[in-house]
């Protein structure tokens, strides 16, 4: 009955992979009309070098700081980090059939962790791209201190939905002590059709400059 996928690509500025590039459910609040242009301010953060897939033979974490190259410790909280200056993070999700998209984001990261946007004062550092690129027809620490001006936008096949800070918090779910997840699509009608399709998912933050440094760790879809 579908599958779950996670982000594993390493190139995010102008994504080229089959996943990363560029009917809503009842929890959305408003929609916007605009082109989805992949942003230039997203980067990999906290991911050790090597093949860290958890298997016995994997070679992981060999770096200049390693005391033992055979240590192979694989437990890290890595992901793709960005802020309101990063622009859109655009992804391709293959074979969506059950109408479900869930995203896992860490909201507690500090502005200085987003190295790519150091010194930026506007989205994509003021760079402009052609419109339409890549488009198709403990709870305390998590959201504490986020600006009231925060907006979280997500787009599914070019249809943009926007949540303000209160709506972003309201739609958050905490299944365990640390993970935070948001359901971006729950379309039961799509599931009834029994057909699969490739969809484009994009996310971004607005109105919070570098103060909302969010790290995307997983995207689940079925």
pLDDT confidence of residue 131:
41
Q: What is the pTM of this model?
A: 0.75
Q: How confident is the model at residue 144 (pLDDT cuts 50, 70, 90)?
A: low
Residue 5 pLDDT greater than 60, yes or no: no
Q: pLDDT by residue (tens digit) across 61-78? A: 888 888 887 777 787 788
Answer whether residue 170 shows pLDDT above 50.
Answer: yes
Higher local confidence (pLDDT), 139 or 115:
115
Contacting residues for 211 by C-beta, under 8 A, at least 6 apart: 83, 84, 111, 145, 146, 147
The CA distance from 68 to 60, in Å, is 11
201 or 108, greater pLDDT: 201
Q: What confidence tens digit (pLDDT) does each residue in 24-70 have?
A: 333 344 445 568 999 999 999 988 888 888 888 888 888 888 888 77
Per cent of the chain over pLDDT 70 is 77
The pLDDT value given to residue 50: 86
Cβ-contact 7, 218 below 8 angstroms? yes
Between the CA of residue 56 and those of 7, 78, 177, 220, what are the distances in Å? Answer: 22, 20, 28, 25
* Whole-number percent of the chain with pLDDT over 90: 53
Q: Are 37 and 22 in contact (CB under 8 A)?
A: yes
């Amino acid at each position: 009955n579908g599958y779950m996928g996670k982000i594993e690509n390493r190139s995010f500025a102008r994504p080229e992979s089959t996943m990363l590039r560029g009917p809503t459910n009842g929890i959305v609040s408003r929609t916007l009309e605009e082109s989805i242009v992949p942003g230039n301010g997203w980067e990999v953060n906290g991911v050790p070098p090597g093949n860290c897939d958890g298997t016995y033979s994997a070679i992981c974490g060999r770096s200049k700081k390693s005391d033992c190259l055979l240590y192979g410790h694989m437990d890290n909280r890595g992901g793709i980090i960005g802020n309101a200056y990063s622009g859109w993070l655009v992804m391709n999700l293959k074979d969506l059939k059950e109408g479900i998209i869930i995203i896992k984001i860490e909201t507690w990261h500090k502005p200085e962790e987003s190295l790519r946007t150091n010194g930026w004062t506007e989205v994509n550092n003021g760079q402009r791209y052609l419109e339409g690129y890549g488009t198709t027809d403990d709870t305390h620490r998590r959201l504490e201190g986020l600006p009231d001006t925060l907006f979280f936008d997500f787009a599914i096949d070019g249809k943009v939905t926007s949540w303000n800070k209160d709506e972003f918090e309201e739609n958050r779910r905490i299944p365990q002590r640390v993970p935070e997840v948001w359901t971006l699509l729950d379309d039961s009608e799509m599931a009834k059709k029994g057909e699969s399709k490739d969809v484009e998912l994009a996310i971004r933050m607005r109105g919070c400059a570098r103060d909302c440094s969010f790290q995307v760790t997983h995207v689940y879809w079925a």
